[in-house]
Amino acid sequence: MWGHYTQQLIHSLPFFLKGLWMTIAVSLLSLIGGSLIGFFAGVGRASRARWLRRLLSVYVDAIRGTPFLVQLFILFFILPELGVQIKAFPAAVLGLTICSGAYICEIFSSGIEAVPWGQREAAISTGLNRYQQLRFVVLPQALRTILPPLVGQYVLLIKDSSVVSVIGVLDVTRAGWLTVQRIPEGILVFGLVGIFYFIICYPLIHLVNYLEARMTVQKFRL
């Protein structure tokens, strides 16, 4: 019986590969958008502008304090009732972008604030403006702290992308749900789904371990 189901699953591989491509597309676009939002929001969170820090705090707290599934439902089901129609794929990318942007914002702001204030004072004394301070002094040092958790957040983003299957996006997870209706062996079907996610995430997991090890070595050298 398992041999028959395995053969059927092999014949379904093109369907899964289509879902894999959709997962990669949603994750990659969200990763880029979330990184851009997180970077600029993180710089704002680490700035001296109190009004900007409070505004960004509302955004970060609202996103981190609510489930991603609820945020996705608001975009896909609630906004159309208000006259804003968003298709499944754009809603998935937008939802993941907004959600990941809040977490990446905290990573960037924490990394920037970890740079000793004396470094900024030294940059100011040399006549650098704020942009130059950030580019040449603050960010190069902050990246040592930022990179490991940032890449780790990318891994979480890819895994969270499985949630978008509930609004009809044909990703790997939805491909699994549709396939299991024809092949009633959940272990085989979702085992394959897990393998696909592992294939995507493993290089990033390995990169996180490498960066953490390298940062630790550099810390001991200092």
Q: Tell me the per-residue pLDDT of 22-73, one tens digit each, with 9 for 90 and over.
A: 999 999 999 999 999 999 999 999 888 899 999 999 999 999 999 999 999 9
For 8, counting Cβ atoms within 10 Å of its Cβ (0-12 exposed, 13-18 middle, 19+ buried), the class is: middle
Q: pLDDT category, 199, cuts 50, 70, 90?
A: very high
Structural element, H or E, at residue 203: helix 186-221
Q: pLDDT category, 218, cuts 50, 70, 90?
A: low
Quote the pLDDT of residue 213: 75
Scan for tokens 């059927």, then name that residue: 8
Quote the pLDDT of residue 70: 95
Average pLDDT, integer, range 161-179: 92
Q: Is the pLDDT of residue 219 over 60?
A: no
Question: Which domains does the chain carry?
Answer: 2-221 (1.10.3720.10)
Per-residue b/e over 157-190, b at no fewer than 16 CB within 10 Å? bbebbbbbbbbebbbbbbbbeebeeebebeebbb
The 10s digit of each residue's pLDDT in 79-94 is 998 888 999 999 999 9
CA quadruple 162, 163, 169, 170: dihedral positive or negative? positive
Quote the pLDDT of residue 161: 93
Quote the pLDDT of residue 49: 86
Structural element, H or E, at residue 102: helix 88-113
